[in-house]
Structure 1
């Protein structure tokens, strides 16, 4: 299984939003699309939080040096 990228998930989320805003979906299809949108939004949020933490690690160095340790997400 390929690892999904933030950009891919964001594009999928945007597509879901367009479908829902279009108003052409049945109730059942709208619910399925909404569920998919929630899934993609959660994934994007997680990736953004991980990126923010990585930036924080780099910014904590007061002496001008950058550390190279790998950030480990909480769920791994």
Structure 2
């Protein structure tokens, strides 16, 4: 898949879902939208996982040392 921003990939995913929900497309078109949607959903999930690994917070351990911890949102 080409390098897309999360926002662009998510917008394309929404378009694929809307086309499938519309129901006025051929079976072949529906399959194409479905396959593209699955691929885009996986891509968006990967980007979110990478972002989660990047976002961390600075914390203090019990012994008083600083450490990086996952940010709980």
Q: TM-score range by the shorter chain?
A: 0.7 to 0.9
Within the alignment, does 1:62 sit opposite 2:59 as a pair? yes
Within the alignment, does 1:18 sit opposite 2:15 as a pair? no
Question: Which of structures 1 and 2 has the larger relative contact order (alpha carbons within 8 angstroms, sep 6+)?
Answer: 1
Deviation at 1:3, TM superposition (A): 2.4
Equivalent pairs, count: 62
Within the alignment, does 1:8 sit opposite 2:5 as a pair? no
Q: Which has the larger share of strand?
A: 2
Q: Which has the larger share of helix?
A: 1
Instruction: Report the Cα distance in structure 1 between the residues aligned to 2:32 and 2:44, rounded to whole angstroms.
Output: 18
Q: Which runs of 4+ in 1 moved over 2 A?
A: none
Instruction: Report the Cα distance in structure 2 between the residues aligned to 1:39 and 1:3, rounded to whole angstroms.
Output: 13
CA RMSD of aligned residues (A): 2.0
Residue by residue over 1:4-50, the C-alpha shift from the partner in whole angstroms, topping out at 9 and shown as x without a partner, is: 11000000000000000000111111001100000110100000011
TM-score when normalising by structure 2: 0.75
The higher radius of gyration belongs to 2
Within the alignment, does 1:40 sit opposite 2:45 as a pair? no
TM-score when normalising by structure 1: 0.72
Q: Partner of 1:24: helix, strand, or coil?
A: coil
